[in-house]
Each structure stands twice: as structure tokens, then as C-alpha cells.
A and B are shown apart, each in its own frame.
Chain A
Amino acid sequence: MPVLDELKAQIARRLPELDMVIGWGHGYDSLHRTPLFIENEADIDKLVFDPLCVHNLATYLTRHGNAKKIGVVVKGCDSRSVVELLQEKLVSRDNVVIFGLPCEGVADLGKVKRALTDLGLDIGRVRETATGGGKLTLTVSGKEVVLPMSEVMADKCGRCRYHNAVLHDEFAGTPVEGQAKDAYADVASFESQTLEERMEFWREQMERCVRCYACRNACPLCVCRDYCIAQSRDPGWVSQRDGLEEKFFFQMIHAMHLAGRCTECGECERACPVDIPLLLLKRKLGKEIKDLFDYSAGTELEIKPPLLAFKVEEDNINERGW
């Protein structure tokens, strides 16, 4: 049975015990998928699963309090967010049913956009889209364009170590084999630049920020949202001025509060309407956490996240031995 049919059957079976199931449906054009909230059987038919299902739906789990029982459809990477939320007790295990999927990688629409721009075409004018066979086949302004998935796949997929949902109540399809290595080469490459060069890079990037907080609100682990300290007036940590200091300061707050919690799903970067490469900040902290605590967020339900725990002597932090 194709993965989607199997998933639909599983949802149909579990739906009576759930308030809703969150999956993906068709968006406003052929290239876009959009979160789908399934509340009755008729909605199940609208479900889609393909490499354009980019959103991490775990972000909706913390928006319903603990009053609702929710089913969530997850790829491997998305499932890590659910696990981390469970580890942190931000979501109750009894209130979530996880529909796990195997995933061979999703498209990065930013890369699709750049690939089309190079061909003198625009992503806003894609009329038809077909996925499958390891490629995206698009009809744009009357031209057919074939983009190999290997070229437009999200970077996170190229280094993916968890193709299959790490925790699930239902699993549709056959698990994808293999695990890529991730040595944080992107971070190392960025850090090979001088401090001035790095600062200049971020200055340029942050200049574009409109402070819409899409990065924050798309993040499944950034759960303060309405009560975020970046918007509190008392205390007024971040002023209403829109200088680089304020924008950068907010991104530092965001990144630091996610250290040891971020699963590097990349939703912050994907959500940014002005293409600021925000995941790089999160990756830097991910690398530090990996080096210090040998911890990857959201991979094991029973482990206590290192920054939520206390050890008198940390293995890799030399506190008193100078």
C-alpha cells in the first residue's frame, strides 16, 4: 500500500479518539503545501505527503493547552521536536498520537527559488508541479524545468540521521535506511572567517530583519510566544528601535534559549520572509551542546536534556581545575 494510503487508513482508525489530526494539504499553488487540520473523516482525503511537505507540524502541539488530544503527522526530523517537547513535559504523552513517516528529504523552496532565478524564472509563477523520481518537475512561465532533488533538497536532509520518526504510535510505509554523518562542516567553514568578516556577514543579514517574529513563532520549541521577553516592556530588554543591535539581540535571545533544545529542524530559517540564514546560529549552539554534553535534542525520550539537569561535575566542563 502506498505510504499516503496507509497513513490515511491509520488516521481514519484513530480519529474517533482525537480532537484533530494535523497533517499537510494542498496550498495556494501547486508548489505549496499547507498545514491541514483534520477534524472529520471527509478531511482525510485532503491529506498530502510528498517532498513539498516542509512544515514541522509539531509547532502546533503547544498551542492547544492540554485540553485537546491531538494527532500529529511527522517526518523523522519533526518527530524529534515532539520528543523534545515530551522530554521537557511541554506536551503530555497521553494527549498526543504520533503518526510517523519515513522521509527521504524535503525540498528547500529557497533553493528552488534561487535555481529558478538563475534560469531567469520566478518561483511565484510556477503553474504545475510534479514530484517523484528524485526530481521536481515544474512548469514555469510556459517552460518545463526539471530540478534534481539532490540540488534543491534542504541542507538538513543531506546530513539527516533520523529519516524515520524516532517515536511514533503509528508508522506508515517502510523505514528509510541509512544515516548521514554530521560533523558541523557548515559551522566550521563559517568560523574559518575572521571575527570581523563574520560580524559583517551578520550585520548585512540582520539589516533586512523586519522583526515579524516568524522565526520564533514557527519554532516548535520556542514556546513563550505571546510572553516573549523580546516584546515585554517591563522589563524592557529589547527596545522598540529597529537598529541592528535590537534585531541581533533578539536573535541571540532566541538562539540561546534554544541551546540544547533545538533539533535543527530549520523552521526559523524557512519561515523568514527575507531569507536570513538563521539556522546557522542554531547550528553553532547545537555543535557546542554536542561537544559539551554529547547530546542531540529530541532523540531519546527518557533522557533529561542537559540544561534542565544539574551535575556537580560535568564531564566536559572544566570548572574548578584551572
Chain B
Amino acid sequence: MAAKFLATDKLTEWIAELSASRQVLVPVKEQGAVVFRPYGKGVTPVLDRQANVPPKGSIFPASQRLMTFTYTKNPEDLGQVAVEVHETVEAEPTVVFGGRPCDARGFTVFDRVYDCKKVQDPYYKARRENTLFVTLACADPENACFCHWVGSSPSDPDGSDVLMTPIEGGFLVEDVSKRGKALVASKLLTDGSKRAKEAQAVKDAAQAALGEAWSPEKAPAKLLEKFDDMGFWEDVSAKCISCGACTYLCPTCYCFNVTDERKGMRGERIRTWDNCMSFQFTMEASGHNPRPTKAHRLKNRVGHKFSYYPDIHGGVFACCGCGRCIKLCPVSVDIREIVRLSVERPVSKPEKK
């Protein structure tokens, strides 16, 4: 890992340089919100706070065309219909610039699902391979942040290709991956090895500001114990309004829906973000819904992240601790509180009748 230095006044120049050969997504301010948008002339990146919407869409778009299809009737025999299918794998080379370590780490949760021995999702893989992350370490965590609970930190390089740490007059820029090395080869970056200590102090201070971490290590077992304790789930979900803000803004929520949008003889198959907070998520064709209430649905969201996923993925939580589900929830549902209660509160109804 080489330590380079980037002066603040060279920042825009570096982004412009990166954008010469690929798309660069940067956080920008719109109204009061910060969202990732393609960099272009006149675009001012906002780096002093976490974006409202994580850069999830860079690899896993909110709505993605998987294929187009056309039906053709045989004019000799109208009962005979042929279908032609075109796969549409699209993956523009991209750099996501200025996300937080939690934003980049989110995709490591995706990887275990969409790019593993059992499953290779070509759409995901193509974009994943074409997308690099130049991440900015957090110097001052927010109240809703809890990355240290889930095995991460404000300067976690996991999932990033390049990690920048803010220091006096600029940034210490470290390459994390092989591909990141190529990015930091720019002449705009100078030797930063003498500033590494300073950057380490920034990282340590951010970690210290988070305070002591509460460990969710017992959560996987405790959440399973509470699976049938609907009283518990009704209690912790009472204020939930059952919208999808927590899920859609989550860097690790990877569920999708597939639909055919057809007009006449042509159409396309698209994959869209779906969310387990939605009533329709488990709606079966028979009309039966195994998760009929918001209590069932919130149980799934918390259970998936802190029990079912870690159970099959070596104990890793499906959560990067970014805190968006807490701070952007219209009613401040706090997942930290729910996980804690699941561990600390005794089961009220251990056996289902």
C-alpha cells in the first residue's frame, strides 16, 4: 500500500482526470439531500458528509433491464408465435468517488450472494468488475453511525480500491486493491509517506469518537429464539410505518423483483429493487401472505441482517453500520435498539401453539 498525498486544490483536477476515460460518480447536493451523480464540468462534489442515498445503484441499479424480447407471429399459422430474446448486460466503466467506507463495504455483502461458487449473476458481475471505489475515510462519525458494531471502522478499507483520509491541506491517498494502484499513479498525487502518521491519528480519533462498540455476536442465536415471539416484534415495530426507506437506502440490502413490462408484441424484462418491508414482497399467487403484518416484515429485515445471513456466511453481518436506516427513517426506528433488545429481553412466548 503506497501512501500518496493529494492537495485539496488538486482534488477537482484528479476527479476530472479520472473522468476522462470512465464515468465518475460523485456525491452532489440537490435541495437538502446528497446523492451520487455523474461528474461533469461545474459539478461540485460534497465530501463533508454521508450521502443520503448510498452508491448502491452504481452496481445494482434501482431498475435494470435484463433482456428485451419480441414476439413474432407466423403469418402462415397465426397460432405459432416465435420469441426473440436479447440479453442486455450493460456495464459502463465507473469510479465511485467520495463514498464512505461503509458505502464500499456494502458490496462485500452483495458479493457473497451474487458472485459466489453457487451463483454467478452476470449482470452484477459485469458492473462489479467495471466499478472502482475511491473512498473517503470518516473523520467525524455521526450519531447514527455504528460501523464499529459490525466489524468495520470509519477507515475500513474493505471493499474500497483507494482510501483517502482527510488531513491538513489535503488527503492521504492509499491504494487498497491492485486496480486502485493504477488510479493513484496520477502525477497529481505526490509522495505522502511522511503524512501517514497524521492520517493514522485522524483514523484513530474517528474510531475513538464512536465510543465503545456493543457486540451483536449473540444476536444470530437470540433472534432465532425470538422468531415466534410475535409480542416482541409487535412491540419493536409499533412505530414502523412500513415504507421502504430503510431498505432502499441500505448499502447491503440486495433483494429484487423481476417483472416483464410488455406492450403489444415487444417488451423487456427488468429487475428492480424490492424490499421486505413491503406487503407485496411475500405475497403469494394464491393470495396467502406469510408476512401479513409489519411486525413479520421488520422481523425479517432485522433477522436477515443479524441472524440468517451471518448463519450462512461465516458470521458476517449483512449490515455495514452506516446508520441511514436510523437517521432517514421518518419515525426514527433504531435497528441498534432492536438488535440489542433481541439479545437482552427474555423470550415471552418461546413455543408457538
Once bound together, how far apart are the Cα atoms of A231 and B270, in whole Å? Answer: 15
Residue pair B259, A28 in contact (C-beta under 8 Å): no
Once bound together, how far apart are the Cα atoms of A211 and B244, in whole Å? Answer: 8
Residue pair A28, B279 in contact (C-beta under 8 Å): no
| A117 nearest CB across to chain B (Å) | 8
- In the complex, per-residue mask of B239-266: 1 if CB is within 8 Å of any chain A CB, else 0: 1011111011100000001010100000
Once bound together, how far apart are the Cα atoms of A63 and B326, in whole Å? Answer: 22
Residue in chain B with minimal CB distance to A274:
B33
**Range, interface on chain A:** 35 or more
Once bound together, how far apart are the Cα atoms of A134 and B247, in whole Å? Answer: 37
Query: Within 8 Å CB of B279, what residues of A?
Result: 225-227
A303 on interface, CB distance cutoff 8 Å: no
Q: What are 23 contact pairs spanning A and B, CB under 8 A?
A: A28-B143, A28-B336, A34-B332, A35-B239, A37-B238, A37-B239, A110-B32, A114-B32, A122-B49, A122-B140, A210-B53, A211-B62, A212-B245, A212-B249, A214-B243, A217-B241, A239-B259, A240-B63, A240-B257, A241-B270, A242-B63, A273-B249, A274-B52
Residue pair B53, A34 in contact (C-beta under 8 Å): no
Once bound together, how far apart are the Cα atoms of A265 and B61, in whole Å? Answer: 33
* Known pairs A124-B145, A125-B143, A242-B63 / 9 extra A-B pairs, C-beta < 8 Å: A32-B332, A34-B239, A125-B142, A208-B30, A212-B245, A214-B241, A226-B242, A239-B259, A240-B63
B165 on interface, CB distance cutoff 8 Å: no
Residue pair B248, A212 in contact (C-beta under 8 Å): yes
Once bound together, how far apart are the Cα atoms of A240 and B332, in whole Å? Answer: 28
Residue pair A210, B248 in contact (C-beta under 8 Å): yes
Q: Name the one of B33, B257, B332 contacting A208, with C-beta atoms under 8 angstroms.
A: B33
Residue pair A275, B280 in contact (C-beta under 8 Å): no
A294 on interface, CB distance cutoff 8 Å: no
Q: A35-B331, A122-B49, A210-B53 are in contact. Are A271 and B270 (CB under 8 A)?
A: no
Residue in chain A with minimal CB distance to B272:
A240
Interface SS, A side: mixed
Interface SS, B side: loop
Query: Within 8 Å CB of A242, what residues of B?
Result: 62-63, 272
Once bound together, how far apart are the Cα atoms of A33 and B332, in whole Å? Answer: 8
Residue pair B31, A122 in contact (C-beta under 8 Å): no
Q: A37-B239, A273-B328 are in contact. Are A205 and B31 (CB under 8 A)?
A: yes
Residue pair B31, A233 in contact (C-beta under 8 Å): no
B131 on interface, CB distance cutoff 8 Å: no
A270 on interface, CB distance cutoff 8 Å: yes
Residue pair B272, A274 in contact (C-beta under 8 Å): no
A277 on interface, CB distance cutoff 8 Å: yes
The 9 closest A-B pairs by CB, nearest first: A124-B142, A271-B330, A226-B279, A242-B63, A273-B328, A214-B243, A212-B244, A217-B243, A29-B143
CB contacts under 8 Å to A, within B120-146, are 140, 142-145
A152 on interface, CB distance cutoff 8 Å: no
Query: Within 8 Å CB of B326, what residues of A?
Result: 28
Q: A110-B32, A125-B142, A239-B261 are in contact. Are A28 and B243 (CB under 8 A)?
A: no
Residue pair A276, B31 in contact (C-beta under 8 Å): yes
Residue pair A122, B48 in contact (C-beta under 8 Å): yes
Once bound together, how far apart are the Cα atoms of A207 and B259, in whole Å? Answer: 22
Chain B residues proximal to chain A, CB less than 8 Å: 30-33, 35, 48-50, 52-53, 62-63, 140, 142-145, 235, 238-239, 241-245, 247-249, 257, 259, 261, 270, 272-273, 275, 278-280, 323-324, 326-328, 330-334, 336-337
A141 on interface, CB distance cutoff 8 Å: yes
Once bound together, how far apart are the Cα atoms of A119 and B59, in whole Å? Answer: 34
Residue pair A124, B143 in contact (C-beta under 8 Å): yes
Residue in chain B with minimal CB distance to A111:
B32
A8 on interface, CB distance cutoff 8 Å: no
Query: Within 8 Å CB of B244, what residues of A?
Result: 210-214
CB contacts under 8 Å to B, within A228-286, are 231, 233, 239-243, 267, 270-271, 273-277
Query: Within 8 Å CB of A75, what residues of B?
Result: none
A218 on interface, CB distance cutoff 8 Å: yes
| A37 nearest CB across to chain B (Å) | 4
| B319 nearest CB across to chain A (Å) | 16
Residue in chain A with minimal CB distance to B61:
A242
Residue pair A124, B242 in contact (C-beta under 8 Å): no
Residue pair B249, A210 in contact (C-beta under 8 Å): yes
Residue pair A231, B144 in contact (C-beta under 8 Å): no
Query: Within 8 Å CB of A227, what residues of B?
Result: 279
Q: Name the one of B144, B239, B337 contacting A124, with C-beta atoms under 8 angstroms.
A: B144
Once bound together, how far apart are the Cα atoms of A191 and B264, in whole Å? Answer: 39
Query: Within 8 Å CB of B238, what residues of A?
Result: 35, 37
Residue pair A218, B259 in contact (C-beta under 8 Å): no
A163 on interface, CB distance cutoff 8 Å: no
| B209 nearest CB across to chain A (Å) | 9
Query: Within 8 Å CB of A110, what residues of B?
Result: 32
